[in-house]
């Protein structure tokens, strides 16, 4: 069965999409085409979208699912009249909360994703800049300022995880790639001295060698770098290093960057400078 789902908002659509994807992910037996429609902030835009929803229902032969965070009642009414199964996030959750808190919601457009505190905004910018500056061991002299230093073989997910930690939580994350340059004369992988000095900040990422070979092959096909033998050797040496030095680690093979980051925070007790947007 194929269905279409619309995530609709009069703001960025991030809340509707995030919650909608989480809900629909529970239905693995249904093939769902997901479409995000942000900034539906006028009746005219809503009417155009309602026509698209109706055309989609005619094409699919079944009504689309609509998950929305629309605030304006006139706009909500236009969408509600379209042939769809509608999940209204605000009306579903805000009404019970209003009753429990004995006060009325502000029903403000974009409230969730407003910049808000200048300090929080600047913290986010600084953290992202720090992650970019300290990508792939570029600024080892700045490790005193890092909250966490991610280590692992090339292409195991260090960079996206560092950026996600910075953007979502304000965590200063540096990352360093373990390569053949870190091996001793016997070919054994060793932890560089400048990392050993920050052992308490280290968190390791590992990955299945087959998955690593597939990722590397997209970047450098048919090379030693992407060969299965090379990937297997690097992963085994890195994991041996983590075990011998008691460095906490996570296997990134089947986890999203969101899961990697939140599991890392849970396991290490890293302090968030702010909550995710």
Q: What is the pLDDT of residues 230-244, one digit of tens each?
A: 999 999 999 999 999
33: nearest Cα among 55, 53, 58, 3: 3
The C-alpha atoms of residue 53 and residue 187 are separated, in whole angstroms, by 61
Q: Are 137 and 162 in contact (CB under 8 A)?
A: no
Q: Are 209 and 235 in contact (CB under 8 A)?
A: yes
**Parts of the chain belonging to CATH 3.40.50:** 3-113, 118-268
Q: Are 149 and 143 in contact (CB under 8 A)?
A: yes
Q: Which strands sit side by side in the sheet containing 85-88, from one edge to the other?
A: 31-37, 2-8, 65-68, 85-88
Binding residues: 152-159
pTM above 0.85, yes or no: no
User: What is the architecture, at CATH level 2, of domain 3-113?
Assistant: 3-Layer(aba) Sandwich (3.40)
User: What is the architecture, at CATH level 2, of domain 118-268?
Assistant: 3-Layer(aba) Sandwich (3.40)
Name the one residue in this structure whose structure tokens are 């605000």.
Answer: 90
* The pLDDT of residue 1: 67
Comparing 274 with 249, which gets the higher pLDDT? 249
Please write the tens of the pLDDT for every residue from 106-160.
765 555 555 455 778 888 899 999 999 999 999 999 999 999 999 999 999 999 9
Mean pLDDT of all residues in the chain?
92
Binding residues for ADP: 152-159
The percent of the chain in helix, strand and coil, each rounded to the nearest 5, is: 50, 15, 35
């Amino acid at each position: 069965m194929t269905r279409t789902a619309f995530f609709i908002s009069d703001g960025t659509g991030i809340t509707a999409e995030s919650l909608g994807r989480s809900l629909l992910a529970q239905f693995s037996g249904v093939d769902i085409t997901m479409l995000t429609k942000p900034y539906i902030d006028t009746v005219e835009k809503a009417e155009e979208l309602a026509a698209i929803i109706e055309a989609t229902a005619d094409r699919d032969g079944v009504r689309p699912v609509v998950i929305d965070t629309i605030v304006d009642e006139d706009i909500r009414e236009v969408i509600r009249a379209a042939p769809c199964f509608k999940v209204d996030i605000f009306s579903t959750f805000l009404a019970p909360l209003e009753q429990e808190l004995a006060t009325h919601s502000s029903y403000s457009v974009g409230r969730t994703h407003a910049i808000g505190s200048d300090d929080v905004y600047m913290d986010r910018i600084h953290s992202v800049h720090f992650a970019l500056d300290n990508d792939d061991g570029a600024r080892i002299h700045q490790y005193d300022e890092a909250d966490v230093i991610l280590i692992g073989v090339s292409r195991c997910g260090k960079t996206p995880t560092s950026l996600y930690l910075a953007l979502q939580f304000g965590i200063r994350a540096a990352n360093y790639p373990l390569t053949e340059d870190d091996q001793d004369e016997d070919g054994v992988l060793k932890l560089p001295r400048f990392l050993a000095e920050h052992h308490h900040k280290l968190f390791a990422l590992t990955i299945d060698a087959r998955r690593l070979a597939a990722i590397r092959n997209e970047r450098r096909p048919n090379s030693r770098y992407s060969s299965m033998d090379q990937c297997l050797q690097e992963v085994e040496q890195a994991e041996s290093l983590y075990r011998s030095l008691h460095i906490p680690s996570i296997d990134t093979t089947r986890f999203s960057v969101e899961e990697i980051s939140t599991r890392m925070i849970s396991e290490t007790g890293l302090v968030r400078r702010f909550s995710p947007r």
